[in-house]
Amino acid sequence: MKLKWLHVVRDVLIITGIFFVSGFLEGLSGVVTKQETPLSSLLDLNGTLGFCLCGCLTIENRWKHLLVVALGVWLINCSYQLFFLPFTVLAWVLNVAIIFVPMLIGGALSSLLARAPEQKDSPVDKKEMNGELK
């Protein structure tokens, strides 16, 4: 089954935007209040809701699509760290948990909320199943 790459790019941009806005608001609230804020859990919640939204929007293989989207988000996140922050291997590895745990939870929620549409077999597939293809 092939992925629709425009949908992957759309979802990567949605999730990256959600992480960016959530992180910006978390940083802004920490600057304003000058103390630790509980918004880091909100950041994970927003990522989970973003992956749930993308999982509900997809019409192809949901888990394969979400895995590719998570890899894209992870690469964008790592490139941001590479160019703008001091790069450490530990931060690079920990980003896996920050992105893939919400992907798993959001994907499970999207599986509960929206059934994937049944795939229509192409005429070639039907012929192969009936043994008519030579």
Residue 134, pLDDT score: 47
Give the Cα separation of 92 and 74 in Å (integer).
9
Global confidence as pTM: 0.74
- Residues of the chain above pLDDT 90, percent: 25
Residue 69, pLDDT score: 93
70 pLDDT exceeds 90?
yes
For residue 46, which of 105, 112, 108, 113 has the smallest C-alpha distance? 105
Burial class (CB in 10 A: 0-12, 13-18, 19+), 50: buried
Average of pLDDT values for 112-117? Answer: 77
Residue 59, pLDDT score: 73
CB 11 within 8 A of CB 57: yes
Q: 53 or 89: whose pLDDT is higher?
A: 53
Q: Which of 25-29, 44-48, 70-74 has the least mean pLDDT?
A: 25-29
Average of pLDDT values for 88-110? Answer: 85
